[in-house]
Amino acid sequence: MDKKKGTILLFIAAVIGGLGFVFMKNLLDSGFSPIQCVAGRYIFAVIFMCLFYIKELKNITKEELHGGSFMGVLLFLLFVMLMEGLKRTTPSVNAFLSCTTAIMVPIILWIGYKKRPDKYIVIGALMTIFGVAMLSLNERLEINLGAVLSLGASVMLGMQMVVMDKYVVNCNPARLTIVESVVVMVLSIASALFSGESLPKISEIDVVMFALAGVLCTFVYFLFISISQKYTSPTTTSIIITSESVFAAIASAIFYGEAIGVRVIAGGLLIFCAVIIAETKPNFFIKKELLTNRYK
């Protein structure tokens, strides 16, 4: 596989990730609670993940158990916030706000590890704030709870990525992901049972939605990303994966019937551009010495 094929795989993953928001929204509309949606999704994901990586299960180390468990708790909180946010807002808004991780990670590192972000991160953060305002504020300038929770999911993902960066040095990424996913599944099933919420009548289409969300949008999604990252840079990966918010908006308009307004388009575009600026760090200014040399 070369860089071109790796990039194609990333775009396929972004499309798949975008569809996941619509699948989950339809399950919420069918009467499933957010935590039930997470549990159903990860039951399918873990089954296929363990079958695919069955030879890796016996090689899981204590450090991978520790790191994967910590990451799993953060990922569980991420999905709870994501689903609670999706319940209260549209798939497009949920997707755009939850895809601001490229901005969140440097801010988390600044707060937790005193690593000051560069000017591009600051510019991206300011653009993100305006984009969030356009997506979440109503006519009375009141912020939507669904938007707050969607943005909180991005913070959780950022924290999960920071923790992963610590453990992935000495651990196998596949085994970390298996442990992480099992923890999410166990926590979501336990929370669903503890909540006492009864399951709605499960139709065939619901099973299909859960299977697609678990196998396609979780297992295949992360598999494609892990494969393609061997051939593409982290910057390229983050930018392409961020485009899943755009695909989520398109899928929501086509399959869910969401009317995408001007504010959503403008806010989403602003956030998308903020991520690109933060990741690529473009040089907007021509250095004076270059101008001087040109006209000598």
Is there a contact between 283 and 123 (Cβ–Cβ < 8 Å)? no
pLDDT at 286 exceeding the cut of 60 = no
Return d(Cα 164, Cα 73) in angstroms, integer: 12
| pLDDT tens digits, one per residue of 134-151 | 776 655 545 678 888 988
Q: Is residue 13 exposed (0-12), middle (13-18) or buried (19+ Cβ within 10 Å)? A: buried
Return d(Cα 72, Cα 184) in angstroms, integer: 5
Is there a contact between 99 and 275 (Cβ–Cβ < 8 Å)? yes
Q: How far is CA 199 from CA 1, 35, 127, in A?
A: 44, 11, 41
Query: Region 212-223: what's the mean pLDDT?
Result: 91
pLDDT at 21 exceeding the cut of 90 = yes
Say what the pLDDT of residue 289 is.
Answer: 42
For residue 109, how many other CB atoms are within 10 A of its CB? 17
Q: What would you report as the CA-atom Rg of the chain, rounded to the nearest whole angstrom?
A: 20
- Nearest of 166, 210, 221 to residue 188 by alpha carbon: 210
pTM of the full structure: 0.81
Q: How far apart are the first and last CA of the chain?
A: 47
pLDDT band at 169 (very low <50, low <70, confident <90, very high): confident
Query: Region 209-219: what's the mean pLDDT?
Result: 94
Q: Torsions phi, psi of 137, nearest 5?
A: -80, 140
pLDDT at 292 exceeding the cut of 60 = no
Amino acid present at 296 = K
pLDDT at 115 exceeding the cut of 80 = no
Return d(Cα 231, Cα 285) in angstroms, integer: 31
Return d(Cα 244, Cα 241) in angstroms, integer: 6
Query: Region 112-137: what's the mean pLDDT?
Result: 76
Q: Which helix (H) or strand (E) holds 236?
A: helix 234-242
**DSSP 8-state secondary structure symbol assigned to residue 115:** -
Q: Which residues contact 129 (CB under 8 A, 6 or more apart)?
A: none
| pLDDT tens digits, one per residue of 58-88 | 999 999 999 999 989 999 999 999 999 999 9
Most confident of 188-192, 247-251, 264-268: 188-192
Helix (H, G, I), strand (E, B), or coil: what is residue 137? strand
Mean pLDDT of the chain: 83
Question: Could you identify the residue written with the tokens 């549990």?
Answer: 39
Bridge partners for 137 per DSSP: 143
Query: Region 229-240: what's the mean pLDDT?
Result: 69
Say what the pLDDT of residue 285 is.
Answer: 44
Bridge partners for 143 per DSSP: 137
Say what the pLDDT of residue 97 is.
Answer: 82
Contacts 24+ apart (CB under 8 A), 136-145: 136/93, 136/97, 144/88, 144/89, 144/93, 145/85, 145/88
